[in-house]
Amino acid sequence: MAVLKDFIRISDTIWELPITYKEGMRVPARIYATQKLMENMDEGVIDQVTNVATLPGIVKYAYCMPDGHWGYGFPIGGVAAMDLKTGVISPGGIGFDVNCGMRLVLTNLTYDEVKPQLRKLVDRLFARVPSGVGGSGFVRISQDEFRHVLEQGARWCIKNGYGWQEDLERTEERGCISGADSSKVSNKAIERGFKQIGTLGSGNHYLEIQVVRPENVFDPQLAKTFGITQPEQIVVMFHCGSRGFGHQVATDYLQSFLKVMEKKYGIKILDRELACAPFFSPEGQDYFAAMKCAINMSFANRQVILHRVREVFAEVFNRDPEDLGMHQVYDVAHNTAKVEEHIVDGKPRQLLVHRKGATRAFGPGAAELPEIYKKTGQPVIVGGSMETGSYLLVGVEEGAQTFFSTAHGSGRTMSRHQAKKQFHGKKLLEDMEQRGIYVRSVSFSGLAEEAGPAYKDIDEVVQATERSGISKKVTRFIPIGNIKG
């Protein structure tokens, strides 16, 4: 557990370790958390966030968000901005599941309308959206065509009939980050990914039907702007990423960086999981272009899943998806590195912002936002466990303090192995159904890994983000139907 006496308490929810804490730190490390979250923060987070603070070119602070827990290289919840000229790019600061992200979709249905059809909805969604390790989607394309997907992202999906033009407006980067170059991707990565468009995967990935209770609308005006307009409204949320493709891209370049990092560039690091290369080096730029391919694959993956969700709802309710009000609120990415302009010490500066298990959260007026959200700020989707619920937040101007980054979920409190020892999947499924949550899962062991107590208190995490001034809560969603990998 965290030793709080080592920290300087900057505010109620900001805890800082100075550069004297560990030899080699170039900037202080900051953790955003309530006292309760800090007292239960695992030691691995502190070790990792201070290791990140030693990386070349890091600017201002190494950050960890309130949902922080031990990860690979960076803690999950880690954020670091690098100077473009002197800084590095690190797969350990992005993650293996590149652009593991969230998508939130509205309906105009109410709980009373959906409840009689809930089992049918979940069963059909379970059949239409493959989940679990491996898993092939229904989009059948060649490896050459898959390379077009990698460079076009969700735009490829819209052109091929898997969605609506407006979906792009409501997706980060309009569903396609520029600069993706499929020639920088290995054949092995292509082989692992070209059949996986439209699939959930395993682990903490899910597709969930949720309800908005009136008492869980915290900002009615913002909620209305985002499409939450009636009591007991039903929404759909899902969480998934770039599958085996993104994992292979990260693996390939980690191995590449380990070969050149010290011998060619003289970079020494405290943890080989932070393997990196100068951003403007040939190796760094190749990885950046390949990583963008994984970002785009993930946007395409979630776009096809949305298409399947609309199909299922249309069949079950015998109504057109547009008539059902199935408009997307937003799609937000985790596990990325992006070049962004931020104000540092009063001056605009181009930075490479790594967000590992953290969500971009721009405030009102940001150039990166679509017109529909310019006045409100960016919708931020924070997923909780399948037992507890999730949140819709919004970015705020004060979020500049973390380069407009916030929490991405509730964050684990125990390992998957520990959760499987402590919980029994079949009993968990039965208990959840008694509480009104109908679940379909590929395996009982996988379900046990995702038990609610294996995660931090989502309400505490969101409270920490709001009290820190890095995002603001709008609504809370309660799960009623869930598909787990």
363 is in an annotated binding site: no
239 is in an annotated binding site: yes
* Active-site amino acid positions: 408
CB 316 within 8 A of CB 171: no
**Domain definitions of the chain by residue range:** 4-96+338-357, 101-337+369-484
Q: What are the phi and psi torsion angles at 223 (to 5°)?
A: -60, -45
Q: Which CATH superfamily includes the segment(s) 101-337+369-484?
A: tRNA-splicing ligase RtcB (3.90.1860.10)
Report field, pTM of the whole predicted structure over 0.85: yes
Q: How far is CA 102 from CA 159, 220, 262, 347, 379, in A?
A: 22, 22, 36, 32, 11
Considering only CA atoms, give the Rg of the chain: 21
Query: Among 361, 364, 389, 359, which Cα is nearest to 374's?
Result: 364
385 is in an annotated binding site: yes
Tokens for 437, please give them: 């949550």
Q: Is 416 helix (H, G, I), strand (E, B) or coil?
A: helix
425 is in an annotated binding site: no
298 is in an annotated binding site: no
195 is in an annotated binding site: no
pLDDT per residue over 10-41, tens digit each? 999 999 999 999 999 999 999 999 999 999 99
Cα Dmax for the chain:
64
DSSP-assigned states of every residue in 117-180: GHHHHHHHHHHHS--SSS---S----HHHHHHHHHHTHHHHHHTTSS-HHHHHTBGGGG--TT-
441 is in an annotated binding site: no
207 is in an annotated binding site: yes
Contacts of 406 (CB under 8 A, 6+ apart): 65, 358, 359, 361, 380, 382, 393, 395, 399, 465, 470, 471
409 is in an annotated binding site: yes
Cα distance between residue 46 and residue 421, in whole Å: 26
CB 359 within 8 A of CB 332: yes
| Strand duo 472-484 + 438-441: pairing | parallel
Cα distance between residue 250 and residue 97, in whole Å: 8
386 is in an annotated binding site: yes
Instruction: From first to last of the 485 residues of the chain, give the pLDDT tens digit.
Output: 457 888 999 999 999 999 999 999 999 999 999 999 999 998 899 999 999 999 999 999 999 999 999 999 999 999 999 999 999 999 999 999 999 999 999 999 999 999 999 999 999 999 999 887 666 778 999 999 999 999 999 999 999 999 999 999 999 999 999 999 999 999 999 999 999 999 998 878 999 999 999 999 999 999 999 999 999 999 999 999 999 999 999 999 999 999 999 999 999 999 999 999 999 999 999 999 999 999 999 999 999 999 999 999 999 999 999 999 999 999 999 999 999 999 999 999 999 999 999 999 999 999 999 999 999 999 999 999 888 899 999 999 999 999 999 999 988 888 888 888 889 888 988 898 999 999 998 888 888 888 888 888 999 999 999 999 999 999 999 999 999 87
